[in-house]
Amino acid sequence: MLLQKGQKLLFIGDSITDCERARPAGEGLFGALGRGYVSIVDALLQAVYPELGIRVVNTGISGNTVVNLEARWQEDVLDRKPDWLSIMIGTNDVWRQYDTPFVKEWHVYKPEYEATLRKLVAATKPVLSGGLVLMTPFYIESNENDAMRRTMDEYGAIVRQVAEDSGTLFVDTQAAFDEVLKELYAATLAWDRVHPTQAGHMLLARAFLNKIGFQWNR
């Protein structure tokens, strides 16, 4: 596995990462990491790799876009000095274009999304002793011609390109959901097609852990 003994792993993103985590930082006891994929990753790392003592921190904030991440990057990422960083952002950047189409200042269009994400990656990757993982935003909708699904795929393609250009690890969360959507109706995994059930969060955790070389049968 890529994580090394005593390293700090920080997750940042929107509500899908937040999941009612503690403030100011999601870390510690009594559900401090929230109830989503971050807490599942932490639990599995503790259960399967207890000797590594990986420190997991959650700084996701509900409603955030990549612009919001940039505004709090120094305090919520750089000042916490993680060894590993996982970024999953873009859902609200896209969603606001569809659920509040007339409030243009809430929208983050592709050029700004890409430029901001590239800026954050460029500023952070050199100071990480471990590595950086870029996870795509997703929309739990099997119809690829759905308007919001189509746009979300375009933002996911941006994440893929940024990961390739910067040499960072890449997790295609949409592909992970699409595989299960061959068998299950979208509402089974997310009633609003955005906020996953526990099964959906398990899919996210599994996709992340697979990318960092987690050995499930260890």
d(CA 154, CA 152): 5
195 has catalytic annotation: yes
Residues 6+ apart with CB under 8 A from 101: none
d(CA 13, CA 31): 18
Instruction: Read off the DSSP letter of residue 88.
Output: E
Query: Amino acid identity of 132?
Result: L
Residues 6+ apart with CB under 8 A from 32: 21, 22, 26, 58
Among residues 76, 83, 195, 201, the one annotated as catalytic is 195
Helical H segments across 80-146, by residue range: 91-99, 110-124
Among residues 15, 18, 86, 107, the one annotated as catalytic is 15
Other beta carbons within 10 angstroms of residue 136's beta carbon come to 25
List, as own/partner pairs, every contact residues 40-46 make where C-beta atoms lie below 8 angstroms and the sequence separation is at least 24, other chains included.
40/201, 40/202, 40/204, 40/205, 41/9, 41/11, 41/205, 41/208, 41/209, 44/205, 44/209, 44/214, 45/3, 45/9, 45/214
165 has catalytic annotation: no
Active site residues: 15, 192, 195
